[in-house]
Amino acid sequence: AQYPAKDELPDTNHPLVKKWIAEIDWSKVPKLPLAKADIPNCPDCPAGKKGVPKNACWWTCDGCVAPDDIEVCPREKAWGLTYDDGPSEDTPRLLKKLHQANVTSTFFVVGSRVLEYPETLIQEVKEGHHIGLHTWSHAGMTSLTNEQIVAEIKWAEKIVFDVTGLKTKYWRPPYGDVDNRVREIVRQMGYKTVIWTKEWDSNDWQIPDKTITNKEVFRNFKWALSTVPKLKGGVITLEHDLYTQTVNVA
Ligand SMILES: [Zn+2]
C-alpha cells in the first residue's frame, strides 16, 4: 500500500520515513524523556509538576507555551474557528452549515481520515477553509520516539499534498500534547504549532460518552463569548467534526 495502515503508528523503517528522518538536524532536538501513555492516548502528566523536566515546556501538563506557538489570533477580538480530527462522514453537513453562515474555518485533519474521505478534504479547500495537520494516527506526540514523530507528521503532510496539492504551515498536536522536543522536530519540518486558548476548549469531544450534554457545550460557548472582552488578542477555539452529535450542536 502507498500509505501506512489507518490509525496505526507508521513504520519508521519505511524508506521514505528514513529519508525524512535524515533531513532533521538532531543536534538541535532536546533530549527529553518520553511520556508514559497507552499509545495513542493522551499521556498522563506525572503526578505534580515535579516529574516535568524544566526545559520541556509541556503544554499538556503545565500549560507552558513556547514563543512561536500560536495561541491567540493576532487580531483584536477575532476568533479562529477550528475543527479537529476529521474529515469524517459528518463533515459535509458541517461544511454546509459553515457555507450557509458564510464562515470559513480551519480544519486540522488526521491523515488516516483523509485516506477515508479525500473528497471531503478537497471540498474543504474548495470552499475556502484552511487546512492544518493533525498527524497520521492521532497519537499523543510526547509519548512517541523522535522517529515516530517525524513519520506521524510527514505521512499526514504527504497525503494532504497528494490529495490537494497544498502544503500547510500549521499543525495542531492531538490532545494539545506538545513539548519542546516535539516542537523542535516540527519546527524543522516547517510547521507552526497551533494550540487553543485553554479556557475555550468546548469539551465537545466528551459528548459521545455522554459525559457532558449539548446544553453544557452551548453554555461553555456562551461563557467563552462573554469572556472575549477580557482577552487581549483574539482567541482560538477548538471544535471537533468527528462525531455526529458534535455537528448537530454547531
Ligand atoms: Zn484531535
Q: Going by C-beta distance under 8 Å and a sequence separation of 6 or more, which residues neighbour residue 94?
A: 83, 241, 247, 250
- H helix or E strand, kind and range, residue 82: strand 79-84
- For residue 175, the CA-to-ligand 1 centroid distance in Å is 6
Q: Which three cell numbers stand for residue 238?
A: 477548538
Domains in the chain with CATH codes: 15-25+61-249 (3.20.20.370)
Per residue of the chain (250 residues), give pLDDT as tens: 599 999 999 999 999 999 999 999 999 999 998 888 766 667 777 655 566 777 888 877 777 888 888 764 434 344 567 788 899 998 999 899 888 888 888 899 999 999 999 999 999 999 999 899 999 999 999 999 999 999 999 999 999 999 999 999 899 998 888 999 999 999 999 999 988 665 545 554 444 444 444 444 444 444 444 444 444 445 555 566 655 555 555 5
- For residue 215, the CA-to-ligand 1 centroid distance in Å is 22
Is the ipTM reported for this complex over the cut 0.95? yes
Helix residue spans in 101-212 (DSSP H)? 111-116, 118-126, 146-164, 180-188
Catalytic residue annotation: 84, 240
CA nearest neighbour of 185 among 160, 161, 155, 149: 149
- For residue 198, the CA-to-ligand 1 centroid distance in Å is 14
